[in-house]
Amino acid sequence: MNRKAFSGNHPAMSGTYPHTRLRRVRATAWSRAMHRETQLAPADLIWPLFITEGDAIEQPVASLPGVSRWSVDQVVVRAKEAVDLGIPCLALFPNTQPDRRSEDGKEALNPDNLMCRAIRAIRDALGDSIGLLTDVALDPYTSHGQDGLIDEAGYVLNDETVEMLVGQSLNQAAAGADIIAPSDMMDGRIGAIRDALEDGGHRNVQIMSYAAKYASAFYGPFRDAVGSGGLLKGNKKTYQMDPANAEEALREVEMDLAEGADSVMVKPGLPYLDIVRRVKETFEVPVFTYQVSGEYAMIEAAVAAGAGERDALVLETLLAFKRAGCSGVLTYHAAHAARLLNG
């Protein structure tokens, strides 16, 4: 018989061919738009930007085609562009100069460091018209490239690092950050940061926790962009998660929410959509994901090789994040995607 019926038990899917023709609603563009289950808009995007020293500086990142490091004045220009495109938030990452890096990452506490100067410059130029998400971790500031303080054996110390992260968070909040985003994966840091923000009068500063951050092979170009790639001694497997683990991700998320996170992040993105879905269904909280540098670079490599068309690849991957349950996506394609979505 040339008939097809749904094999499950869902009552809404009991129709049979030809009375039920699922292709009917796909026949025209207006109908496809009307029945579309997942929507993607510029407001779903967060644009990561890399900051460097100097004036009127653009430094292309070789391993991230189309992405550059920008001096503070040029980051302000990018921020204005984001506002015009309808992108609600920027994620800022500094490329700290080698002479300001140290074993203890103390530059993270400097109120005049690159990150804080960028926050103030954007805030002075644009006020509250755009959100500023700031990375909290020590790898942009350490001479060894690890996210925290290390002992003589190179092991990253948890509690001592948390003390530094608290100071770093307060420093960024005082400069005008809207969202503190700890990416370090130390135990207990969300509760410590939340208490410090409350005590310091920063009650409306949000925390977006990198709750499920995996020890991934997709981070290489990012480390080039912030200048930590060539410095990294060892790996980050003692604090970032094992890619094989899913239940552990739920425990990490549960702990961070209990400690005061307003939203959580899964990182990387596309290889971990199952984690995004499980987190969303389990906790019903805002879940974000980071389409990381390696994911971006693979799309650009496919385009360069003639294996795909950039616009279609960008929008399809971003839509996949939303379909999986994301409230928003950090992506280096944010400006390009916003232009496409704005028509």
Active site residues: 213, 267
CA angle at residue 47 from 228 to 64, to 5 degrees? 45
Secondary structure of the chain as H, E, C letters: CCCCECCCCCHHHCCECCCCCHHHHHCCHHHHHHCCCCCCCHHHEEEEEEEECCCCCEEECCCCCCCEEEEHHHHHHHHHHHHHHCCCEEEEEECCCHHHCECCCHHHHCCCCHHHHHHHHHHHHHCCCCEEEEEECCCCCECCCCCCCECCCCCECHHHHHHHHHHHHHHHHHHCCCEEEECCCCCCHHHHHHHHHHHCCCCCCEEEEEEEEECCCCCHHHHHHHCCCCCCCCCCCCCCECCCCCHHHHHHHHHHHHHCCCEEEEECCHHHHHHHHHHHHHHCCCEEEEECHHHHHHHHHHHHCCCCCHHHHHHHHHHHHHHHCCCEEEECCHHHHHHHHHC
Give burial (CB, 10 Å; 0-12/13-18/19+) of 80.
Answer: middle
Q: Which is it for the CA torsion 157, 159, 160, 161, positive or negative?
A: positive
Region class of 161: left (phi > 0), else alpha (psi between -120 and 50), else beta: alpha
**For tokens 């992405």, what's the residue?**
67
